[in-house]
Amino acid sequence: MNLTPTQLEGGNLELRTQLSNLQGLLVLAMLMTESGDEEQVLRLATSSVGGLARCRPEGVYLTDRGWRWTAGSFRWEPDRRAVEEQLPGLGSLGGAVEVPGRPCGWAYPLRSLAGGVGFLIVSAEEASSPAEQFLLRVMAQQAGMALANARLHAQERATAEELVKVNSTLGATVQALRRSMEIHERLTKVAMSGEGQEGIARAVHELTGHPVAVEDRHGNLRAWAGPDRPDPYPKHGTARSEELLRRVLASGRPIRDGGRLLAVAQPRGDVLGVLVLIDPDGTAGEHELVALEHGATVLAMELARLRSLAETELRLRRDLVEDLLAGTDQESALARAQALGYDLERVHRVVVVEGQGRGDGGADRLFHAVRRAAGRTGAGSLLVSRTGTVVLLANQDLDWERLRGAVLHELGGGRVRIGVGGGCGRVGDFPRSYREAQTALRVQAGSHGTDRVTVFDELGVYRLLSRLENTAEVERFVRDWLGTLLDYDARKQSELVRTLSVYLERGGNYNATAQALVVHRSTLKYRLQRIRELSGHDLNDPDSRFNLQLATRAWATLRALRS
């Protein structure tokens, strides 16, 4: 285009129009390329056809997307198909096509650097001039370039958007990780610094801004951090508490219970406590849940540590009691007691407790009843379970009946008998005191009286008898006075010796004896008559009566010692 307006003065109007159109086409091409939008390119390209030639646009066919723009009869599928079938035969340069219902038709290729993109289909009432065809061909080519450009642009935009999304996701992940690390670091510090349950509650409160409670597995408050601590602290019934724990364990994550979020501290499958986030407005999100879960883990470690400490102390105490009862050396026992913070150098008594509460429970129930009763009455804290009894090392003399009453109370009723051994001034005295407590208990059992406390030191003649090294003389004495009755009882499965013992212990009182033996008065009279006949002793003679009572006590003592 080296021609100037001067050169064209008075010249060919057609040429001037063509040059003007070319200039317009150049601007149009720039506008299409700059638009970066496929729809815009197609709109500008198709709407400029009428301005460049005496033609009308019919449609735009894109190789990879089919018909993207249609007008006139091309809105009907058969017309489109008729033209579409001609396109593969045209090659990359395009050419004339038959457009249904129109005298002339052309397909101008939309081209890009990468090759053909598709075709612009136009039609006309008569054949276009070469100049018009040239303009349309150039315009179609520019539109093809602009389409390729728009696609690249869209691709870049999609990539950029994808990158923004990935960046945003990455940012959120990094943020979440950072928060998680903050939570982890804060709670690890609490765990390391030994701030206990209070410290854990405080840390979770500071991390979330919500009040936080630590409960034991029964719903009792153990620690609180944050404002508005309820007083008294509300507590669910046992069934509801257990149901909540089941739900938390089943979900494996914190669960909501009204205005509270609960997470369990559960080391090795054993629920030791519950961490509670107070959230009445339901505003807690993922960050708060993560803090609660981390907090529950640290709480689990703390509670497991406390339990392990308690179990270790309990085991050390039990071992010490066992060794003291079996006999151990003074130095070792005192050192171990000192390690436990226990003063073993006070005078102790061994106390043997035998009993049974109403209902189930067994040895464990009795053990814990005695432990709690001893704690309440100040009887001491060293105790151990032994063959159906609980052995307590009492560190002071006290009202033993009060201790028995306390055990009964802890058991919730039932039966409790207690034997108390003699005092232990030295470590070596514990085995003796233990034997004495056992003897006291057995003597009591042999006397068939009501449940009570039997103190060895108060056993009188029993105490003398039980301390004899050689019991052969005692046995001979028992045989001399009770031999015929013992033999009779053995043969007939009767209870004449027991009847005599109870009768003498109650000072010959018929009513008291019949009541203790749970027999009718006439039965008692019959038995006493048989005793008189078989033994030949006069029960009213003071000497006989003394010797018979001594013999029955000696018989009970021997039985206690033998068992």
Partner 1 sequence: MPATVDLGISDLDVRTGDHICAFYRGAERDAMLVAFLAAGLRTGDKCICVLDAARPESLLALLDDPQAQERVERRQLEFVDFADAHGAGGRFEPEKMVEFWEHNVHSALEGGEYRFFRAAGEMTWALRDMPGLDQLAAFESEVNRLMPRYPQVYLCVYDIERFSGEQILDVLKTHPKVLLGAMVFDNPYYVEPDEFLARRQ
Binding site for partner 1 (CB under 8 A): 4-5, 8, 13, 16-17, 19-25, 27-28, 30-31, 34-35, 40, 43-52
Q: How far is the CB of 149 from partner 1 (least distance, A)?
A: 15
Q: What's the closest the beta carbon of residue 70 comes to partner 1, in angstroms? A: 17
- Tell me the residue ranges of DSSP E strands in 172-251: 212-216, 221-225
User: Alpha-carbon distance 16 to 4, whole Å?
Assistant: 10
**Of 48 and 208, CB closest to partner 1:** 48
Q: What is the H or E stretch that residue 355 is in?
A: strand 348-357
- Please give the structure tokens belonging to residue 192: 């390391």
In terms of CB distance, is 52 or 110 closer to partner 1?
52
Residue 115: CB minimum distance to partner 1, A: 25
Nearer to partner 1, 40 or 544 (CB): 40
Decide whether 50 or 425 has the Cβ nearer to partner 1. 50
β-pairing verdict for 453-455 and 414-424 = parallel
Cα–Cα nearest to 419, from 396, 439, 446, 399: 439
Nearest to 216 by CA among 199, 233, 193: 233
3-state secondary structure labels for all residues of 329-364: CHHHHHHHHHHCCCCCCCCEEEEEEEEEECCCCHHH
Is 24 or 100 the residue whose CB approaches partner 1 more closely? 24
Nearer to partner 1, 136 or 292 (CB): 136
CB of 23 to partner 1, least distance (A): 5
CB of 198 to partner 1, least distance (A): 59
Give the strands of the sheet with 221-225, arranged side by side.
Answer: 221-225, 212-216, 273-278, 260-265, 255-257
Which amino acid is located at 39 in the chain? Answer: E
Of residues 346, 514, 336, the one with CA closest to residue 425:
346
Closest CB to partner 1 among residues 47, 173: 47
Provide, rounded to whole angstroms, the least separation between the CB of residue 296 and partner 1.
54
SS3 state of residue 542: helix
Beta bridge partners of 455: 420
Residue 310 CB partners (closer than 8 Å, separation 6+): none
Owner of token pair 């449609």 = 59
CB of 156 to partner 1, least distance (A): 18
**Structure tokens given for 87:** 């396109």
Q: How far is the CB of 40 from partner 1 (least distance, A)?
A: 7
Residue 389 host element (H or E)? strand 389-394
Q: Can you name the residues that pair with 118 across neighbouring β-strands? A: 62, 110
3-state secondary structure 50-91: HHHCCCEEEEEEECCCEEEEECHHHHCHHHHHHHHCCHHHHC
What is the smallest separation between the CB atom of 109 and partner 1, expressed in angstroms? 18
Shorter beta-carbon distance to partner 1: residue 150 or 303: 150
Nearer to partner 1, 8 or 464 (CB): 8
